Structure 1
């Protein structure tokens, strides 16, 4: 018992009002608050250049890499400010209490300062290094996401629209930076594809919450059922199911219309790759819908990266689309 007490006494305290446990704790805490796992979403910046077949020049690769970095910085700014604003509430949450700001590893004032600095520097750097329209789009993303953190996440349906628009902006900004015209089919497919994933995520969270409530009731326990998102209890699972099914249908329809509008077999390369890619695209949507229907699509990046069948379908689709762009 004495040894255990001595170990606990040697362990540096972490929490509000306590100093960080080491010289690297603050940088690591800031990095963790920036959500490195979420950076994979910013790969969407290559969508428009890839769709236009203009991705592989030196200038395009440089601009896309730059835009990826700037969008990552802008998203990190939003995460930092959001965690600073929600620090008190996060400390009472069973899992969010481990976030660096809530745990005291990153002081609230530092999170606000670094987040505010990144929120200003990212659009400013885009104005200097890219195009004015790129800076406007990035600035609009920051403003919209901060408004979401402050109030819009409490407004039914608007919260879904804001998160979906954030994904759409990621997909648009690569084309905007390179001056590539964005087709209506690209915007419709990307927008409703994003809405499909966002609403499927919300649906999965609602299903998990209902299952937890049912398990608590079956065990005869009185339990206060809360949600990780303020509006989650306001949505019904039936409504969220309707939204993700509607979004999936529109995304598939828009992609098929775009593929068929490209001219059929005439003028194609060895095979009509663009039309054939419809099969892979539809299979990918159907495969992801399996996880949505089960209520296990709460973490989209985990579904995409861990499901081998979905990854294989995605690679086949990329290959077909690449052949179509290259006119093979």
Structure 2
């Protein structure tokens, strides 16, 4: 495998699926099919791909020693030494500058959101990753910032309930990830904060975030006068089932990488595809 392929792996392309959230605001508003909105949304998503890649590289540099204790993470290009620290720093800084400079030129507000995203992740990596529950909020905030970026870039209005749905759902996924890590390993050298969690309090976090997602989703669709309310309510039920499925997979230690689960669990794939079809029908039908 060439050095370039190792560098690409270090950018974690498998995690880029998270950046589809940038498109969520214009899709939900029914404006995504407009040419200008479509182009702006895609450009902002590309910016976030560079931004998130810079964060992944920074985190892998920071956690190089800790990742060595994990069966899978130890195989990452930076942790395994396939990408040198010098090259990793060069790649990370390059991605950071590409995202930031182009973001500021593209839309000043988008640039500022990217700065906040970087700042949150640096603060998480340097300190808050060792503070239970707070560290999960920091990770979940990254998903909300993606959704907000898409709204700002396309001049799409977004409500508190919309951002809350994203936030609670993200918190659910992070809680599921932590639960899976807790039950799948006997030692937590790769993530010391796990020593301060228990299955009970993470179960409460998962249940609370699912309930929060359900409640705010209901508020969100009930206040939207432009969607087909019947289809929107049906989509709520399917969305809730998908989150419950995530919770079940977490209990058996299958959610250490939520992004990967999206491509592996057949029932979850079916639920999410069905949800997308019904929700798009509610908005554009």
Q: TM-score, normalized by length of structure 2?
A: 0.92
Q: Deviations over 1:270-312 (max 9, x none)?
A: x732233222222222322221233322221232222222222
Larger radius of gyration: 1
Q: Superposed, which structure 2 residues align to 1:118-137 within 5 Å?
A: 118-129=95-106, 131-137=107-113
Contact 2:66 2:190 in 1 (8 A): no
Gaps of 5+ in 2: none
Displacement after TM superposition at 1:159 (Å): 0.7
Which deviates further from its counterpart, 112-121 or 66-75? 112-121
Which deviates further from its counterpart, 107-116 or 38-47? 107-116
Contact 2:235 2:275 in 1 (8 A): yes
Match of 1:252 in 2: 214
Displacement after TM superposition at 1:114 (Å): 2.1
Q: Do the aligned partners of residues 93 and 279 (structure 1) sit closer, same or farther apart at CA in structure 2, a change above 3 Å counting?
A: closer
The answer to whether residue 75 in structure 2 is matched with residue 98 in structure 1 is yes
Contact 2:69 2:190 in 1 (8 A): no
Q: Deviations over 1:126-154 (max 9, x none)?
A: 1112x111110011111211221222211
Partner SS, residue 228 of structure 1: coil
Counterpart among 59, 80, 87 of residue 36 in structure 2: 59
Displacement after TM superposition at 1:125 (Å): 0.4
Displacement after TM superposition at 1:89 (Å): 4.2
Q: Do the aligned partners of residues 96 and 315 (structure 1) sit closer, same or farther apart at CA in structure 2, a change above 3 Å counting?
A: closer
Larger RCO, structure (CA 8 Å, separation 6 or more): 2
Contact 1:227 1:233 in 2 (8 A): no
Displacement after TM superposition at 1:108 (Å): 0.8
Q: Do the aligned partners of residues 312 and 128 (structure 1) sit closer, same or farther apart at CA in structure 2, a change above 3 Å counting?
A: same
Match of 1:47 in 2: 24
Q: Distance in 2 between matches of 1:193 and 1:250?
A: 8
The answer to whether residue 278 in structure 2 is matched with residue 284 in structure 1 is no
Match of 2:124 in 1: 148
Q: Distance in 2 between matches of 1:279 and 1:249?
A: 12
Partner SS, residue 263 of structure 2: helix
Displacement after TM superposition at 1:76 (Å): 1.1
Q: Do the aligned partners of residues 91 and 206 (structure 1) sit closer, same or farther apart at CA in structure 2, a change above 3 Å counting?
A: closer
Counterpart among 123, 139, 155 of residue 115 in structure 2: 139
Q: Distance in 2 between matches of 1:282 and 1:323?
A: 18
Which deviates further from its counterpart, 99-108 or 143-152? 99-108
Q: TM-score, normalized by length of structure 1?
A: 0.80
Counterpart among 30, 33, 40 of residue 7 in structure 2: 30
Q: Distance in 1 between matches of 2:20 and 2:77?
A: 26
Q: Superposed, which structure 2 residues align to 1:109-258 within 5 Å?
A: 109-129=86-106, 131-209=107-185, 213=186, 225-258=187-220
Contact 2:69 2:189 in 1 (8 A): no
Match of 1:17 in 2: none
Match of 1:87 in 2: 64
Q: Distance in 2 between matches of 1:63 and 1:111?
A: 30
**How many residues matched?**
285
Displacement after TM superposition at 1:92 (Å): 5.6
Q: Distance in 2 between matches of 1:303 and 1:58?
A: 33
Displacement after TM superposition at 1:85 (Å): 2.7
Which deviates further from its counterpart, 116-125 or 247-256? 116-125
